[in-house]
Each structure stands twice: as structure tokens, then as C-alpha cells.
Amino acid sequence: MPKHVVSTVAEIPPGGRKIVEVQGRSIGVFNIAGEFFALRNRCPHQGAALCTGQLGSAVTSTGPGHYAVDRAGEILRCPWHGWEFEVRTGQSWFDPVKVRVKAYETAVAPGSALKPPSPALLPGPYVAETYPVSVEEDYVLVEV
């Protein structure tokens, strides 16, 4: 599957997100503690823009009066009806076997690795002045 450059790493700080359009799909790209994850921006319940929802934590309990809060910023809550999904996997928090949102593979690559291959050109009658170009940032890629 092709990979698409969607952002520089600096554009999405830890705890941040960016919603992008890739091949006609709205996709939310999230930075969780320096790791990038991408989810389809559509809630499977009624089609809300899922990736605009609040990010929260998981709360677990071992019994009455005992609870723990963890996975800060990893649970995405749908803005319409509160359905919750794991940003890392797209699985629903309430029914992880049957309900999920599409998750896409992400990667970070240095700009120097993203240069397209040069086509084989034949020498022509004109010579253009050229300048060296370098790309020094890292970019977030989403595989669709």
C-alpha cells in the first residue's frame, strides 16, 4: 500500500492531532508520547467526525472503591454519543471484539529519504541553472 506524507513531526506535538485528507478519506493522526497513530475520522455508530472528540484516559477497577487511571490521552471519545476507542488500535473500549474504527499504519521518515527518484533525462539544447536542495525535517507517513 502506498505511503503518504501527511505532516512534519513538529506539526503534531505530543498529545496533539491533525486531521488530514488521504485518497478521499478523512484521517486523524495522533501523537501519543512521540508515537504516531492514525484512525479513520468516522465513528462507526452514526458517522460523527470521531477524531475531533476528546482524548481521555482508561479507568479500571479491581472492586468497589478501588480504581486506577492509566493510558493518559489514549482513549478517544466520539463527540456525538461518547463511544470510546483506543487510539493505538482503533478497538472500541465497550466491545473490542465486534466494534472498531479503521486504524492505519504510520511511520516517521527523514525528509532526505522522501526524495522521488530522478527520471532518466536526455540532454537537451538548453541548460537551466540549478541549486542544491535539502530537506532536514522528519515527516509523518500514513499507509493507505
More confident residue, 78 or 124: 78
Q: Which residue has the higher pLDDT, 86 or 116?
A: 86
Where residue 1 falls among pLDDT bands split at 50, 70, 90? confident
Q: Which of 29, 143, 25, 44 is nearest to 92 (CA)?
A: 44
Q: What is the pTM of this model?
A: 0.80
Cβ within 8 Å of residue 105, ≥6 positions away: 1, 38, 142, 143
CA–CA separation, 26 and 28 (whole Å): 7
Give how far the C-alpha of residue 67 lies from the chain's centroid of Cα atoms, to the nearest Å.
30
Domains with residue ranges and CATH for the chain = 3-113+129-143 (2.102.10.10)
Rounded Cα distance, 78 and 62, in Å? 26
